[in-house]
Amino acid sequence: MKQLEERIRADGKIREGGVLKVDSFLNHQMDVKLFQDMGKEFLRLFGDCGVTKILTIEASGIGIACVAALFFDCPVIFAKKNKTKNIAGDVYTSKVESFTHGKVYDIIVSKEFLHPEDRVLIIDDFLANGSALQGLIKLVQDAGATLVGAGIAVEKAFQPGGDLIRGMGVRVESLARIKSMSVEDGVTFCD
Ligand code: 5GP
């Protein structure tokens, strides 16, 4: 999606360690008009898949997922990062290793909100090593629901997550795919 690529070029900030900061339009301050165009693009890509739920992970996926859900006319569930040691029984749970913080944490979704008849589209802001997506996919599988695919805003294609998840047979559509990125040379996108 050219518009997102141009915005990343203009306002993204490259940090050491392969981290792209997009706090001015995606992760802190949010450009909701841009989210609207991203939602339309996700609908173009997944609109014929019979999506009944959008699943994301707190916190930075929520805004994008909510605007997309307006186009799909379906609810959004966000997986919560569990802070307590005891996980109650009425939840699906999996583990995610944070790319940006390096910690492993549990994510949970209440069994009340994910059902075998659901057709789930996962939406997230970034795809890097694929741990967040893997964790979300496990929640969908544990619920016995159908995964229609994953819609990602920014895929860092130089990290292994995209190949890993596509290798699992999951349809992954990323609106901007970064081929390479460095403080010296800036961002290059995949064709
Ligand atoms: P993964 O689990 O694929 O390694 O990383 C995905 C998660 O890490 C995303 O949900 C996102 O919050 C965060 N993340 C990974 N790489 C970046 C990055 O370069 N910039 C930002 N802002 N977040 C990232």
Average pLDDT over residues 97-117: 92
**Burial call 147-172: b when 16+ CB within 10 Å, e when fewer:** bbbbbbbbbbbebebbebbeeeebeb
pLDDT at 83 over 80: no
Q: Which residue has the tokens 């390096």?
A: 102
47 is in which domain, residue-wise? 2-189
Residue 128 Cα: closest atom of ligand 1: 3
Distance from the CA of 39 to the center of ligand 1, in angstroms? Answer: 19
Residue with CA at minimum distance from ligand 1 atom 19: 19
Per the CB < 8 A criterion, the answer to whether 56 and 78 are in contact is: yes
Q: In sequence order, which residues have a C-beta less than 8 Å from that of residue 86 and are 6 or more positions away?
A: none
What CATH number did the domain enclosing 62 receive?
3.40.50.2020
When comparing pLDDT for 17 and 58, which is higher?
58
Determine the distance from the C-alpha atom of residue 185 to the mean position of all C-alpha atoms in its chain, rounded to a whole number: 26
Number of domains in the chain: 1
Distance from the CA of 86 to the center of ligand 1, in angstroms? Answer: 26
Closest CA to 177 of 157, 163, 151: 157
Which tens digit of pLDDT belongs to each residue from 115-139?
999 999 999 999 999 999 999 999 9
Which tens digit of pLDDT belongs to each residue from 29-65?
999 999 999 999 999 999 999 999 999 999 999 999 9
Which tens digit of pLDDT belongs to each residue from 149-159?
999 999 999 99
Phi, psi of 181 (to 5 degrees): -160, 130
| Lowest-pLDDT choice from 92-101, 131-140, 168-177 | 92-101
Structure confidence at residue 86 (pLDDT): 60
Supply the ipTM of this predicted assembly.
0.98
Structure confidence at residue 87 (pLDDT): 63
Structure confidence at residue 85 (pLDDT): 60
Ligand 1 pocket at CB < 6 A: 19-22, 27, 60, 99-100, 124-133, 156, 161
When comparing pLDDT for 127 and 88, which is higher?
127
Instruction: Please give the structure tokens belonging to residue 175.
Output: 């609106």
